[in-house]
Structures are given as C-alpha cells and as structure tokens.
C-alpha cells in the first residue's frame, strides 16, 4: 500500500494512468478509481497534518471522470444503458457514449473496444459496432435494375441455417411469432385495396401474388390458403427445396410455384403480379434502390407492394441486434448489420423513386410478457409498408426525360 501511494505521489501517471476510461469494464474501472481516490486522500498515521498522498490534480481528474461517466450514462435510455453495461464484460472495454454536442451521425457510434486480456472461451463475444451512416446506393448507368442485387455473403449466411426454417424454436423463431401479425397487415391492406371481403375464407382468391425472398415458405403457405395464386422465389436453393417439400404435404399449398431465382431475373422474363411482397429482405440485399426498382417492375399498374424491414435506429440496434442476437440469442449472431438497415424515410423515398406510392405504414411491437407481436404506430424498430404502383415505371419516366 505504501509503495502504491508513493508511486501515486510521485507522478499523476501512476494509478491515475491505470484508470484510463475504456481500458476495463465499467465495474472494474469504478473499483480501481474509487480505490485510488481513497488511497490518495487518506491521512498518513505519522504525519502531523492531513496531507493527501497524491497530487491534487490527480484527485480532481478522477472526480471529474467519475462525474462525467455518470452524467453520460444518464443521458441514454434505460434499455440502451443496460445493453451497454452488459456489453462490457471482464475482458471487453466499455462503450464510450458520445457527447451531445456531436453531430447526429457521430452520435450513433458507440465504440466497442476490446481489452488487452485474453477472452475466456465461455464468455460471449461482443456485438459488432454500429458504423457511421451508410452511403447512398450506387445506381447503374441505364437507370434500371442491375443483373442482380444479391449479396453473396448474405446468401451463404442463410444457406447455412436453411434446414431450420420450420423449426418454431430455431433461429427463425422470431419470424414464426411475428407471422400472424404480418399476415394481418397484409390481409387488411390487400383486401381494402382490391375491394375484397377480409372475412371471407379465401379473400385473396384470383390474385397473383409473389413472395420475394420466401425462405422456407412460412409466408407463402398462408397466402396460398387465403386463395392467392402464389409464386415464391429465393436465391438460396436449399430454401426452395425445403419450402417445396413442406408445401407438398398440404393440398392447399401444393400449387405454390417455388423458384430459385431473383427478382431481377423475373423482370427480364416480364413477369407481372397483382401484389409483390418482400418481408425482411431489403436489409440483406447489395443495392436497396435497385431492389425496389425490381419490385416495382414486377408489379402491375395500380398493383400493391408490401415491404417490411428493421429501422436503422439506436433502439433497433439495442433490441434487434444486441438483445435478440447476443443476449436472448433468438437469431444467429451476425444476422443483421446495423449499417444495412433502412429507415422508414429512406424506404419511402426509394419506393417513390421506383413509382410506388407508400400509403400505409405500421410498426411491430413485441410484448415480452405474453410473447406476442402486435401492430403499432411505433416504427422505431420493426415496421412494414404498403404501397401502390403508379401507372408509369421508372424506365418510362427516364425515357420521357431524355426525349
């Protein structure tokens, strides 16, 4: 103890240097700093007057840091604060909360820093850092959809877990739980747009519907049971095989046309559908703008387009990525990348540029007590949008502009 105090009294860089913010977990950092503050202010039993064993500058610096850290953590929401505390395990650095004076893009960059000690094999890995605001998607010279908006890394990611699509307690458990709520929104909006009876046993009978990015067919099958003529496509061949086998077991879903292809390929074939549905897909494609144009090209004039995704917000990062993937482990780690998420404003703008007018938008809210999802006005995390295709396509507009 005397040696530690002597080292502290000789220089400000003694125990204060070892309390550098972000080098250890918040709990460990508080312990070291509070211990150092106690050691610095204690009175030597052999001295005549109380003299601190550390320089006043060091004591003031520690107090300032403790006060600043508490102030910064009070500025974030309780849920995000808990996520940040969890992320700082015994071998990972704490999250540095940005100062309120930073710009919005800088303020959305908590920096997850790794500690120098070796991580134990049983400790969970930290969530990836949310990067800066992504740049806008690049456009092709012709203005139309490119050959494919596929992201090979995303295709490989979902191919690895394709066998678990129909496991209600597997990696796709959140989609199984959310599916009734998604179908409720789709049924309501399509029946209202096409003037169908939503209480009919087959309200979508006679409508040609395509499910883009169908996965194992957990959405395609209910659509077929509602009477729609369903075409379902996915870029992962394993998904199509599993979906086809599962649909064949039920006569009402055996008629679904499953194809391992892309939306851009169907555009070249000049396929058209009354309703184009793509749920939880746009955040996994390489170029969201090109993907929206492909969805528009597949939709008949005055047809319907339904898209759902996750908002790129700090609340979505804390719940849909940190909590769902790293704490609750509902999804495999790395399923979503924060930089690829799309905000409601960006989705509306991209669909508008693709000649789709967004007419309705709703959010999905999860109730942890009941385990159910419900529709809400809160679109800060999961949300779904319904749009109507205008009579003119983007390619027609660009041609008229050149004339």
Q: How far is CA 158 from the centre of its chain?
A: 16
CA distances in angstroms from 50 to 39, 238, 286, listed in the order given: 13, 75, 67
The answer on whether 334 is annotated among ligand-binding residues is: no
Pairing, β 111-114 against β 92-96: antiparallel
CA–CA distance, 219 with 238 (Å, rounded to integer): 17
What are the structure tokens assigned to 343, written together?
């905000």
SS3 labels along 200-252? CCCCCCCCEEEEECCCCCCCHHHHHHCCCEEEEEECCHHHHHHHHHHHHCCCC
Residue 387: enclosing H or E segment and its boundaries? strand 382-389
For residue 235, which of 209, 214, 257, 206 has the smallest C-alpha distance? 214
The answer on whether 205 is annotated among ligand-binding residues is: no
Q: How far is CA 198 from the centre of its chain?
A: 31
The answer on whether 213 is annotated among ligand-binding residues is: yes
3-state SS assignment for residue 111:
strand
CA–CA distance, 205 with 93 (Å, rounded to integer): 56
Q: How far is CA 75 from the centre of its chain?
A: 23
The answer on whether 279 is annotated among ligand-binding residues is: yes
What dihedral do alpha carbons 170, 174, 175, 176 form, nearest 10°?
A: 70
CA distances in angstroms from 251 to 225, 231, 255, listed in the order given: 10, 16, 8
* Per-residue exposure over 385-403, b if at least 16 CB sit within 10 Å of its own CB, e if not: bbbbbbeebbbeeeeeeee
The answer on whether 234 is annotated among ligand-binding residues is: yes
DSSP code, position 276: E
CA–CA distance, 26 with 42 (Å, rounded to integer): 24
CA distances in angstroms from 247 to 50, 87, 243, 256, 259, listed in the order given: 82, 42, 6, 7, 13
Bind-site residues for S-adenosyl-L-methionine? 182, 213, 234, 279
Bind-site residues for Mg(2+)? 280, 283-284
Bind-site residues? 182, 213, 234, 279-280, 283-284
């Amino acid at each position: 103890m005397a040696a530690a105090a002597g080292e502290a009294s000789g220089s400000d860089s003694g125990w204060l240097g070892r309390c550098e913010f972000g080098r250890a977990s918040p709990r460990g950092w508080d312990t070291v700093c509070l211990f150092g503050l106690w050691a610095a202010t204690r009175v030597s039993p052999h001295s005549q007057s109380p003299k601190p064993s550390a320089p006043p500058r060091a004591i003031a610096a520690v107090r300032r840091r403790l006060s600043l850290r508490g102030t910064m953590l009070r500025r974030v929401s309780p849920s995000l604060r808990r996520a940040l505390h969890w992320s700082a395990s015994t071998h990972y650095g704490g999250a540095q909360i940005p100062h309120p004076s930073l710009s919005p893009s800088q303020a959305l960059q908590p920096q997850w820093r790794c500690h120098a000690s070796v991580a134990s094999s049983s400790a969970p890995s930290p969530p990836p850092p949310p990067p800066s605001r992504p740049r806008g998607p690049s456009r092709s010279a012709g203005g139309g959809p490119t050959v494919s908006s596929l992201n090979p890394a995303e295709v490989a990611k979902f191919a690895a877990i394709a066998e678990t699509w129909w496991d209600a307690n597997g990696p796709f458990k959140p989609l199984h739980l959310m599916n009734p709520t998604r179908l409720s929104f789709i049924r309501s909006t399509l029946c209202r747009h096409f003037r169908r009876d939503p209480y009919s046993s087959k309200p979508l009978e006679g409508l040609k519907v395509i499910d883009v990015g169908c996965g194992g067919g957990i959405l395609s099958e209910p659509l077929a049971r509602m009477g729609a003529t369903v075409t379902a496509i996915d870029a992962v061949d394993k998904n199509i095989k599993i979906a086809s086998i599962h649909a064949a077991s039920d006569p009402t879903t055996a008629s679904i046309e499953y194809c391992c292809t892309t939306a851009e390929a169907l555009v070249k074939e000049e396929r058209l559908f009354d309703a184009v549905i793509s749920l939880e897909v746009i955040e996994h494609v390489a170029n969201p703008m090109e993907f929206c144009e492909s969805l528009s090209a597949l939709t008949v004039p005055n047809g319907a387009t339904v898209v759902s995704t996750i908002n790129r917000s700090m609340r979505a990062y804390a719940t849909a990525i940190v909590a769902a993937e790293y704490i609750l482990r509902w999804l495999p780690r790395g399923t979503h990348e924060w930089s690829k998420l799309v905000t409601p404003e960006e989705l509306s703008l991209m669909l508008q540029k693709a000649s789709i007018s967004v007419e309705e938008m709703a959010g999905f809210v999860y109730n942890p007590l009941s385990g159910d999802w419900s529709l809400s006005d809160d679109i800060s995390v999961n949300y779904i949008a319904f749009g109507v295709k205008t009579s003119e396509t983007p390619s027609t507009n660009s041609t008229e502009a050149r004339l």
